[in-house]
Amino acid sequence: MRPHTSDRPPQSGWTACHEKVFAIVPLSKKSAALLSVGLTVLLASVKLLIGFVSGSLSILAEAADAVIDLVTDGVTFLAVRVSDLPPDEDHPYGHARAENLGALAQAVLMVMTYGWVLVQVGKTLLLAPQRPAFSLWFFLVMSLSLGINLVRVQVLRQAASRFKSQALKASATNFLNDILRSLVVLLTMGVIMLAPRLSLPSWFVERCDAIAAALVALVALRGAWILGKQAIHTLMDGIPYDLSHRLTSRIAALPSVVPNSASVRARFVGEQPFVEVMVGMPRGHSLEEAHELAHKVEDAIRLDLHEASVLVHVEPTRTVTEPYTTAVYSAAQRLGLRVHNLAIYQLKEEIRIEMDLELPGSMTLTEAHPFSERLEAAIAAELSCPTVIAVHLEPRHDQVQPAVRYAPLEAQVCQAITALPNAASIGLTEALLTNDGVVITLRCYFPGDTRLTDVHTAMARTERDLRRVIPDVVRVQIDPEPDDRRPAADTGDTGDAGAVTSPPR
């Protein structure tokens, strides 16, 4: 499992002291890898020399491990260099997984080499057991190797923690296993050198070195298994088993998220998390509201993965409590149509829906009728109950139309308004002459506590009265305003004629 924080357990005084020593000269990833390569060359040369001189299988196994370390350090150095490359057109997520490939290559080399060591151990134990020739000088050299590896593990751990490098972390783990194997070899050397004084049986002394080599190989193979398993897990986009559940729970707790609609996919490229989220939002919300929800989802993800790159897709989703009006508007929007003046009535046996469908005025009825039919079918598919749908086709003017102000016409409109019962509430009139006919704009004032239904009823009555007096009217636009916003010039008691004013020329 990949840790997501840099917290580490308390360290011993010896380790803390060495961290302070190496923190004085912090190393880059490349410098740490190069230092490890240099130390590996030195140790591999010394161990190979001692192994061939003494004939010890355990030391030769250590030497073989050092050779592997040399190859894997080269792979690590290459992986570190590649992983630092910025994203490009062929690798939009960057090159950080080069470190995981390097760790996998290291595991494969370890399996091959220590498999060969186990074969040699089997031949020695069964066919040609022998007692290696050790000296105190060999013991001192192996002790020095142990000390160098202790220092190297500390340097690599510090660099891996600082740069969050999987390749350096894998190298540090490998050399920690080297330390354990070196301790086994030192113990074996001590047992063989002290065998005459301990009166150990010859069969054990002759096979002790091979047994130690087998232990070294088995420990190394276990490390290779863990290393390879982690690398493959990462390369296969593996994530911690409970991560998706944690992220989904955070998202589901957000307001405006439809229950059981959140879907999360996460992957890691190096230490960089990338998260894709699909979340349902009740239909009828605006694009701005969906954008705001996406930001809340991103913030929720980053509570768990602080530096995650998050991609959120908000899906309009139907809910069981969705109003009929939302279903109608959604059906129209899905077809790219605009409707207004929507009214829905609940009858005993059915639902009745009435609306105005806006279509370009240049269309013929034959061209416009299929749009109405498609809209009715889409609404019927949305609603499971018996439904009767009536669609009024409203011509829509998509282009700017020519219009002029005509003084005699405005005088006629003003005179018509003075005869209306609510003439005192009309503060402004304007009349335009267009190709289609007369367009009248009124501003009417009502008490601020008047209900909108009452305001709409009063405006509809005013429109009907004007149409009776002026037959050429094609449109009456009424702008309702509260009384407290009425200009002072319009509040004087000047009689019916004075209640109506015309805009300045």
User: Is residue 335 located within the same domain as residue 300?
Assistant: no
Tokens read off for 137: 């000088």
User: Is residue 471 located within the same domain as residue 410?
Assistant: yes
Q: Which of 294, 317, 340 lies at the terminal end of a domain, its last residue?
A: 317
Q: Please, which residues bridge with residue 394 across strands?
A: 358
pLDDT digits (tens, 9 = 90+) for 277-293: 999 999 988 899 999 99
Domains: count for the chain: 4
pLDDT at res. 438: 87
Other residues' Cβ atoms within 10 Å of the Cβ of residue 75: 23
Q: Which of 181, 64, 61, 70 is nearest to 132 (CA)?
A: 61
Q: What angle do CA 253, 254, 256 make, to 5 degrees?
A: 125
- Alpha carbon of residue 335 to chain centroid: 31
Task: For residue 452, give the CATH number of its domain.
Answer: 3.30.70.1350
**Amino acid at residue number 7:** D
Residue 5 lies in a domain: no
State in Å, rounded, how far the first CA of the chain is from the last one: 78
User: Is residue 24 located within the same domain as residue 171?
Assistant: yes
Name the residue range of residue 449's domain.
403-498
Tell me how far CA of residue 13 lies from CA of 7, 10, 20, 46, 146, in angstroms. 18, 9, 11, 31, 19
pLDDT digits (tens, 9 = 90+) for 218-248: 877 887 888 888 888 888 888 888 898 999 9
Residue 490 DSSP symbol: G
User: Is residue 412 located within the same domain as residue 475?
Assistant: yes
Low-confidence ranges of the chain (pLDDT < 70): 1-37, 40, 43-44, 47-48, 50-66, 68-69, 72-73, 76, 80, 128-138, 164-167, 170, 173-174, 177, 428, 485, 487-505
Residue 458 lies in a domain: yes
How many angstroms separate the CA atoms of 499 and 493, rounded? 8
Tell how strand 426-434 and strand 403-405 pair up: antiparallel
Q: Which of 208, 235, 262 lies at the terminal end of a domain, its last residue?
A: 235
User: Is residue 340 located within the same domain as residue 289?
Assistant: no
Residue 2 lies in a domain: no
pLDDT at res. 375: 95
User: Is residue 224 located within the same domain as residue 310?
Assistant: no
User: Is residue 214 located within the same domain as residue 99?
Assistant: yes
Q: Is 408 exposed, middle or buried (0-12, 13-18, 19+ CB in 10 A)?
A: exposed
Cβ atoms of 108 and 220 closer than 8 Å: no
The residue written with tokens 């009124």 in the block is 442
Tell how strand 426-434 and strand 263-269 pair up: unpaired
Q: Which of 274, 230, 2 is nearest to 100 (CA)?
A: 230
Return all residues near 212 (Cβ < 8 A) that are at least 6 apart. 57, 58, 184, 185, 187, 188
Contacts 24+ apart (CB under 8 A), 6-11: 6/161, 6/164, 8/161
**Amino acid at residue number 281:** M
N residues, the chain: 505
How many angstroms separate the CA atoms of 243 and 302, rounded? 12
**Amino acid at residue number 240:** P
DSSP output for 26-82: PPPHHHHHHHHHHHHHHHHHHHHHHHHHHT-HHHHHHHHHHHHHHHHHHHHHHHHHH
Q: Which of 280, 297, 317 lies at the terminal end of a domain, its last residue?
A: 317
Residue 68 DSSP symbol: H
How many angstroms separate the CA atoms of 68 and 51, rounded? 16
Cβ atoms of 166 and 270 closer than 8 Å: yes
Tokens read off for 430: 């304007």
Q: What angle do CA 489, 492, 498 make, to 5 degrees?
A: 85
The residue written with tokens 């020695």 in the block is 124
**What is the pTM (predicted TM-score) of this model?**
0.61
DSSP output for 253-287: TSTTPPTT--EEEEEEETTEEEEEEEEEEETT--H
How many angstroms separate the CA atoms of 485 and 477, rounded? 19
User: Is residue 227 located within the same domain as residue 278?
Assistant: no
Task: For residue 195, give the CATH number of its domain.
Answer: 1.20.1510.10
